[in-house]
Chain A
Amino acid sequence: MHFLVANEILYCIEDYCIKAFCKLRTSRSSLTEDRSKMASIRCFLRSGKSAVSVVLRREFSKTSPAAVQVNVRDALNQAMDEELERDEKVFLLGEEVAQYDGAYKVSRGLWKKYGDKRIIDTPITEMGFAGIAVGAAFAGLRPICEFMTWNFSMQAIDQVINSAAKTYYMSAGAQPVPIVFRGPNGSSAGVAAQHSQCFAAWYGHCPGLKVVSPWNSEDARGLLKAAIRDNNPVVFLENELMYGVPFDLSEEVMHKDFVLPIGKAKVERQGTHITLVSHSRCVGFCLDAAAVLAKEGVECEVVNLRTIRPLDVETIEASVMKTGHLVTVEGGWPQYGVGAEICARIMEGPAFNYLDAPAVRVTGVDIPMPYAKILEDHSVPQIKDIIFTVKKVLNM
């Protein structure tokens, strides 16, 4: 009983804060800052788990040393720092990663600590430096190759696919390629068509690659450490709008050997009526939608893919077999996308027999990203789109 009351109180507080923020927003501050602040309020209030435990934790936060707040940027930074320290063969190269501290400050402080040999600023020549990174991996180093955004990886995509992904196979196991390609992926805010594409489906298509798409700080930390320790090429898709979002991380997660398994999804929220499968920033939207739907008595199970390739179809199937309904949610374009693959696999597997309705996808709109804010807002899946879709699928 107390929990239900506490929950209600919390939602009221949340609604109030959001409304207050909307008022504040019109008077000052940039939209990106606002969005991330709103997201951080939500996350602060929820932290990806039940709202009630957050209330309790907030009271205990001063006394409990176990949880620490880390935003996604810092989680990535710390993960790289720890792995650079752990293994001398690890190094970072990319545009502005060294003296500028990273275009998005993800590599802040690393050049100061490790110097020119291990943190290398490259000229603006993606095809060349991606090839150099792969060659270094051939010869036994463990490079982290940063693309300032994944849009620029198209200049270098031949090196990622033909030189990195396929080499272990072509050489029949003689030549492993222990490389991580990382950078922000997908839409941002107001950066328009050439800087907003999601590459999850493109890279997820190719055998020989592992493709990872973290949502929160725990994902970012655990998966990046796993990627750097992996002896295979890993495409690591970050999200610029998540960089500033803080999450609570436990002592266990902060341990320097904390890694998450690549290829394993996580159920972020248990539910019984419908399964929402998502990756990256959209996981947060699914949780928001789930919170709203819960008030109407619909309990959504939210699955955070964490890895695009290999896809953890077992976790999705287990969830669908429990709920009988599936909605996939992604920021990328619909055609031949991540959601399309998930739906196809569900059709081909045991979970199909448990579906009470067709599995459907919520995706980015099938257009190049426009610039004007109102258009941009309507180009990406919003919480209301998820809610609308859930109700359609559940015939509400």
Chain B
Amino acid sequence: MSLVVASRSYADFTPEATFDIKKVDLHRLEEGPPLTATLTREEGLKYYRTMQTIRRMELKADQLYKQKIIRGFCHLYDGQEACAVGIEGGITLSDHLITAYRAHGYTLTRGGTVREIMAELTGRRGGIAKGKGGSMHMYTKNFYGGNGIVGAQVPLGAGVALACKYLGNDQLCVSLYGDGAANQGQIFETYNMSSLWKLPIIFICENNQYAMGTSVERSAASTEYYKRGDYIPGIRVDGMDVLCVREATKFAAAHCRSGKGPILMELQTYRYHGHSMSDPGVSYRTREEIQEVRSKSDPISMLKDRMLSNNMASIEELKEIDIAVRKEIEDAAQFATTDPEPPLDDLCSHIFANDQPFEVRGATPWTKLTSTS
């Protein structure tokens, strides 16, 4: 019976606790984020639930992909949850964020629902992009995707930051990229212009050790990604600890908002899945390595242990959250597999904004289709 849970009053739990967090490595900075982080019970439960939701959502996507209900590209985020959740904990929804293609977690933290994310993966009309975008092209307010071209999102993020400065709204833009993208020329071009113009941008390199099948040692002459911004101050952070990520993000956000210009964060993290669903992920790394990270550094387990050992939540409570999350995912998957595909009328729509409807040539000269805004 649920009497056991109901009778346990919330006054029994520790409302707030302070944890030691790993010191970050600094580049061109005298001081870094604090060495401790305070977590309230509410925050803890929220982070736990969000990370668990991302985890379960990605695992469900794995299932649906293997059943061929999701097609094309599917880049899963399980293992990296602390990054998306920690970053969001350090900024607000009126700030801006842009990332590359491993974007399902961010779509959620930026305000998307599991339902519309999954329905986008299955290409249905209820998808967050009405089935037009797919895994790599999901958008919400102040979230600019979901970008398929490696590295292209970084200058885009600087452009968003330029708009923030131009409009004087004290907002900033978080621009994410991976260890593979970190070698892209356009990123260095962006470092240059962001610094010259003191744009309020936080560059974040999610270093999960592998760019597709190429390890960092094989692709980068310098794997100290937090130093690669050269004249841009940088910090290297444990990306598996949601509190580390949050404190580092708060620190970086304060730096930006003070008008000092860009700052670079490297998050050391890990993905359990291969690069995408087409990659088993074990030809370039060992199963033992994956297992070791899972057992020693899993972000959800780490948070769970912290909360339990400090009496901030009960096992039953967390189990209830797990059950609720599982149900949410099941309902979303049910929707995603039963919602109809987009209507054919939608084929040519959304080419131009605010325009009169116009004719679009179909596959044959006699096929005249209509595009609406």
Binding site for B on A (CB under 8 A): 91, 117, 120, 122-123, 125, 127-141, 143, 158-159, 162-163, 167-178, 207-208, 210, 231-232, 310, 348-349
Q: Which residues of A contact B211 (CB under 8 A)?
A: none
Which of B158, B163, B186, B351 contacts A140 (CB under 8 A)? B163
In the complex the two chains form, what is the Cα distance from A133 to B156 in whole Å?
7
Pick the residue among B96, B155, B167, B353 that contacts A131 (CB under 8 A): B155
Within 8 A of A (CB), among B144-176: 144-145, 147-149, 152, 154-164, 166-167, 173
Contact B192 A125 (CB under 8 A): yes
Chain B neighbourhood of A127, CB < 8 A: 155, 185-186, 189
Contacts A127-B185, A128-B186, A159-B152; A139 near B133 (Cβ below 8 A): no
Chain B's closest residue to A141 (CB) is B163
Closest Cβ of chain A: how far from B112's Cβ, in Å? 11
Q: Considering the chains assembled together, what is the distance between the CA atoms of A232 and B373 in angstroms?
A: 11
Q: Does B104 contact A (CB under 8 A)?
A: no
B-chain residues with CB within 8 Å of residue A120 when the two chains form the complex: 197
Interface of chain A, main secondary structure: mixed
Given B137, B189, B349, B354, which contacts A170 in the complex, CB threshold below 8 Å?
B137
What is the bound-complex CA distance between A132 and B353, given in angstroms?
A: 21
- With CB as the reference atom, state the residue of chain B lying closest to A124: B189
- CA A132 – CA B153 in complex, angstroms? 9
Closest to B372 in A: A173
Contact B132 A172 (CB under 8 A): yes
Nearest-Cβ distance from residue B343 to partner chain A, whole angstroms: 12
Tally chain B residues at the interface, Cβ within 8 Å.
Answer: 48
Known A132-B162, A231-B354; contact A172-B152, beta-carbon cutoff 8 A: no
Q: Which of B98, B129, B166, B358 contacts A310 (CB 8 A)?
A: B358
A170 touches B132 (CB 8 A): yes
Say which residue of A128, A163, A173, A178 sits within 8 Å of B350 (CB atoms). Answer: A173
Q: Using A127-B155, A133-B159, A136-B159 as known contacts, say yes or no to A173 and B353 having CB atoms under 8 A apart.
A: yes
Give the residues in chain B near A177, CB-CB below 8 Å. 353
Q: How far is the CB of B146 from chain A (nearest CB, A)?
A: 8
Q: Are A170 and B133 in contact (CB under 8 A)?
A: yes
Residues of B within 8 A of A210 (CB): 352
Residue numbers in B under 8 Å from A163 (CB-CB): 147, 149, 152, 156
Per CB-CB distance, the 7 closest pairs between chain A and chain B, nearest first, are A135-B159, A131-B155, A128-B189, A139-B163, A176-B353, A135-B156, A172-B130
**Whole-angstrom distance between the Cβ of B17 and the nearest chain A Cβ:** 38
| CA of A85 to CA of B242, assembled, Å | 47
Are A171 and B155 in touch, CB under 8 angstroms? no
Q: Which residues of A contact B156 (CB under 8 A)?
A: 131-132, 134-135, 138, 159, 163
Segment 70-110 of B: residues with Cβ below 8 Å from A: 96, 98
Known: A132-B162, A138-B159, A172-B129. 11 other contacts (CB 8 A): A125-B189, A131-B155, A132-B156, A134-B155, A136-B162, A138-B144, A138-B163, A141-B167, A170-B145, A173-B130, A175-B144
Pick the contact of B160 from A136, A162, A172 — CB < 8 Å?
A136
- Name the B residues within 8 Å of A141 (CB-CB): 162-163, 166-167
B193 within 8 A of A: yes
Kindly list chain A residues whose C-beta atoms are within 8 Å of the C-beta of B360.
207
Q: Is B365 interfacial (CB 8 A cutoff)?
A: yes
Q: Is B370 an interface residue (CB 8 A)?
A: no
Which listed residue, A128, A140, A174, touches B167 by the CB 8 Å rule? A140
Given A117-B166, A131-B186, A139-B96, A170:B193 Cβ within 8 A: no
Contacting pair A168 B352 (CB below 8 A): yes
- From known contacts A117-B166, A159-B155, infer whether A128 and B129 are also in contact, taking CB-CB under 8 Å: no
Q: Say how far B172's CB is from chain A's closest CB, in angstroms.
A: 11
B196 at the interface (CB under 8 A from A): yes
- The CA of A349 and the CA of B359, in the complex, are separated in Å by 14
Asked if B30 is an interface residue, CB under 8 A from chain A, the answer is no
- Could you say which of A137, A167, A348 contacts B159, with CB atoms under 8 Å apart? A137
CA distance A208 to B132 in the complex (A): 14
- In the complex, what residues of A have CB within 8 A of residue B133's CB? 170-172
B139 x A171 contact (CB < 8 A): yes
Between-chain CB contacts (< 8 Å), 8 pairs: A125-B186, A135-B159, A159-B156, A169-B132, A171-B132, A172-B350, A173-B349, A349-B365
- B159 touching A171, Cβ below 8 Å: no
What residues on A are CB-neighbors of B129 within 8 Å?
A: 170-172, 174
Expressed in whole angstroms, the Cα–Cα distance for A47 and B17 within the complex equals: 80
Task: List the A residue with the shortest CB-CB distance to B171.
Answer: A139
Contacting B139 at CB < 8 Å: which of A129, A162, A175?
A175
Nearest B residue to A159 by beta-carbon distance?
Answer: B152
Chain A nearest CB from B116 CB (Å) reads 11
> Is B160 touching A131 in the complex (CB atoms < 8 A)?
no
B190 at the interface (CB under 8 A from A): yes
Contact B351 A171 (CB under 8 A): no
Does B288 sit within 8 A of A, measured CB to CB?
no
Contacts of A172 in B (CB 8 A): 129-133, 349-350
A128 with B193, Cβ < 8 A, contacts A139-B160, A175-B139 known = yes
CB distance from A123 to the nearest CB of B (A): 6
Among B149, B155, B158, B373, max chain A CB count under 10 A is at B155
Closest A residue to B189 by CB, please name it. A128
A6 CA / B139 CA spacing, docked (Å):
65
Contact A174 to B139, CB < 8 A, known contacts A135-B159, A136-B163, A168-B351: yes
In the bound complex, what is the Cα–Cα distance between A123 and B190 (angstroms)? 10
A128 contact set on B, CB distance < 8 A: 155, 158, 186, 189-190, 192-193
Roughly how many angstroms separate A136 CA and B139 CA in the complex, as a whole number? 16
> What chain B residues lie within 8 Å of A168 (beta carbons)?
350-353
Residue B289 CB within 8 A of the other chain: no
What is the CB-to-nearest-CB distance from A355 to chain B, in angstroms, rounded to a whole number?
A: 16
A139, B163: Cα distance in complex, Å: 6
List, in ascending order, chain B residues with CB within 8 A of A170's CB. Answer: 129, 132-133, 137, 145
Q: Is the CB of B189 within 8 A of A231?
A: no
Closest to B186 in A: A127
Chain A residues within an 8 Å CB radius of B349: 172-173
Q: Does B355 contact A (CB under 8 A)?
A: yes
Given contacts A162-B149, A348-B365, contact A131 B351 (CB under 8 A): no
B148 — which chain A residues lie within 8 A by C-beta? 162
Closest A residue to B138 by CB, please name it: A171
Residue of A whose beta carbon sits closest to that of B154: A131
**Which residues of the partner chain A approach B197 to less than 8 Å between Cβ atoms?**
120
* Assembly CA distance A366 to B354 (angstroms): 39
- The smallest C-beta distance from A283 to any residue of chain B, in angstroms, reads 25
What CA separation (Å) do A316 and B150 show in the bound complex?
Answer: 42
Chain B residues in 8 Å Cβ range of A130: 155
| Closest B residue by C-beta to A347 | B365
List the A residue with the shortest CB-CB distance to B192: A123
